[in-house]
Amino acid sequence: MTLEILTADSLSPLRHGFFTRRGGASSGVFEGLNCGPGSSDQSEIVAINRDRVAQAMGVGSGQLISMNQIHSANVITLDSAPTDRPDADGMVTATPGIALAVLTADCQPVLFADHEAQVIGAAHAGWRGALGGVLEAVLDAMEQLGANRERISAVIGPTISQRAYEVGWEFFDEFIAEDPDNQRFFAGSGGEKPYFDLPAYSLARMRAAGIGQASWTRHCTYSDPERFYSYRRSVHRGEADYGRLISVVRL
């Protein structure tokens, strides 16, 4: 099966893609294109999947750079491929041939580009990273490389949608403590648990930060098991583990 790669007009003509699980070598609960070395999938199979992604992006496997994602606002600037996976949740570069990759399974993969300055970025933005400012930190780091945030386009790839993202009231309280206006990103009231709109929250933060353009592909990871991995769905199904989707951008 061939790889399925979702793209966005606002990032073109840069080579980029939000890869679905289709076209990979993994089997079992990981069936498809599992690119997560942190999963319990066979490491050789994960390497095969990542090689397929690198080939699709036109780079060597050593130039496909992903992070040890820690749900932080840490962003690193790359001018060459690191030897180890850095502890971070955002990367930026102005160096051609480096492919910035994000691994997700409900959290948001966000790809950034300033076409004029030839500066790109990528972020892993779960609720904690988004709340902590990882998206704004990527914009800041891109500007340090010569980008202008008013020219930057950002696209949120497949992520969990509000209708599938039930959270606790402690979660709600944390967001309201940060800004009472965040209530608009929650649905549900009374005794019901609230449902959080993660992509809407992130789009609002990026727009408030002055980004030129920001959008979401509107794909829900939880509700489409044929195409996407989902941590939350795996928990609800009682599965032992789950695959990781990969999203990539390069100059």
Distance of alpha carbon 64 from alpha carbon 158, whole angstroms: 20
- 136 SS3 class: helix
Please state whether beta strands 90-93 and 75-78 pair in parallel, antiparallel, or not at all (unpaired).
parallel
Distance of alpha carbon 38 from alpha carbon 112, whole angstroms: 25
Q: What is the pLDDT of residue 63?
A: 97
Distance of alpha carbon 61 from alpha carbon 103, whole angstroms: 15
Q: What is the pLDDT of residue 241?
A: 97
**Type of residue found at 237:** R
Distance of alpha carbon 53 from alpha carbon 42, whole angstroms: 17
Q: What is the pLDDT of residue 165?
A: 97
Q: What domains lie within the chain, and their CATH numbers? A: 5-161+197-250 (3.60.140.10)
Distance of alpha carbon 241 from alpha carbon 38, whole angstroms: 10
pLDDT tens over the chain, length 251 residues: 799 999 999 999 999 999 999 999 999 999 999 999 999 999 999 999 999 999 999 999 999 999 999 999 999 999 999 989 999 999 999 999 999 999 999 999 999 999 999 999 999 999 999 999 999 999 999 999 999 999 999 999 999 999 999 999 999 999 999 999 999 999 975 568 999 999 999 999 999 999 999 999 999 999 999 999 999 999 999 999 999 999 999 99
Q: What is the pLDDT of residue 111?
A: 99
Q: How many helices (H) and strands (E) does the chain have?
A: 6, 13
Distance of alpha carbon 124 from alpha carbon 236, whole angstroms: 23
Q: What is the pLDDT of residue 125?
A: 98
